[in-house]
Structure formats: structure tokens, C-alpha cells
Amino acid sequence: MDLFAVAFYVFAILIIGSAAIMVFSRNIVHSAFALMFTLAGVAVFYALLYAGFVAVTQLLVYVGGILVLILFGVMLTTRGYFEKVRTRTVNLVPSTIFAAIIGLMLIAVYVTTEWTLMPLEDGEVTLTGLGELLLTDFMLPFQVAGVLLLLCIIGAVLMAARTRHPHPPAGKSSQEGPGGPSYGEGTGRS
């Protein structure tokens, strides 16, 4: 067994184990970190197939972007909300039957298909042409997508800050903060 096969089986076990932890964990932070290991293992699969751009994109977009947004979303929301959430297993029997049927279908397709083995060619650097296109012909859409993502992040932070510190009602003084009135200046309450 060569090094690529060993890496494939090691990361396949890692992906399956972390995906199982992600699904069955009752803690959302533990599920998010298990999702990180799952997505990183998929990126290793892409790297083993010499798809360097897809592997790096998997790490940057999913592990570095989506997963960080999930964790920040959990951290920016109020703590009391997650203390009230209770997870429970529903529809366990139908979902187990459905998963078993899908698994048997996949095994049947794997066994009955005649696979042609082709030698894996040496990896070619495919990022040069893509980088040139992104910085020449597709520069404007690339920059617009970056600005749009930045605006989405700023909007999410502003929405989270607004729900934590709502505006005071109309009759209250402007010196009163979220913790109540401020008595540092003047004669106190008027």
C-alpha cells in the first residue's frame, strides 16, 4: 500500500468520525469544531487529487469563512437563548431506514460498476491561468464579490449589536445607557 492510499484511508476515517461527532453532539460548539475537521479532511482529498485550487478554496471559504461565521454567530447571540435550547432525537427509525437504503444502493453501484484504473499523472500547476484571469479579465466581478462579502459581515455585526443594545424608549434621557441612568454629571435624575 502506497502513501496516497494510507493518507486516503486515514483521512476517510477522520472525516467519517468527525461527521458522526458533528451530527450526534448536543453542544453546538463541539459540532462546529467537528465540522471543521470534516471540511479539512475533504480539502485533503482534493489535494490528493492534485486539485490544489479546490483544496485551498475549501479551506479558505468553508473552514476559514463559513465555519468562523457560525462560531461568531454563536458567540454574538445571547447566552440565555442557548441555555433554553434542548436537542432531542426525532424520527430515528425512518431516517435510519432511509440511510440504510441509500447505503445499500451505493454499495450495489460500487460492486456492479466496472472501474477503469488510470495512472495518476504528475500534478500540474493549474493556478497560474486562474490567477491571471482573476487579475485581468475578471477583476471587477472579483472585487465586487469581495466588497459584497465585507458588507454582509458589517451588516451581521450591526444587527447583532442592535439586538444586544436596543434603542432607549422615547421618554428616557439620552444619557441613560443600557445599564440604566448615568449619574456621573450634573445633579442626578431630573
Residue 189 and residue 181 in contact, taking contact as beta carbons nearer than 8 Å: yes
With a cut of 70, list the residues of the chain below it in pLDDT. 77-89, 120-126, 163-190
Give the domain ranges of the chain.
Answer: 1-86, 124-166
- Say what the pLDDT of residue 102 is: 96
DSSP code of residue 50 = T
Per-residue model confidence (pLDDT) at position 130 = 77
Looking at 1.10.287.1400, 3.40.50.2300, 1.20.120.1200, 3.30.420.40, the CATH number of the domain 1-86 comes to: 1.20.120.1200
Q: What is the pLDDT of residue 183?
A: 47
- The pTM score is 0.55
Q: What whole-number distance in Å separates Cα of residue 54 and Cα of residue 43?
A: 8
> For residue 166, what pLDDT is reported?
62
3-state secondary structure 68-82: HHHHHHHHHCCHHHH
**The predicted structure's pLDDT at residue 184:** 47
Nearest CA among 31, 70, 81 for reference residue 156: 70
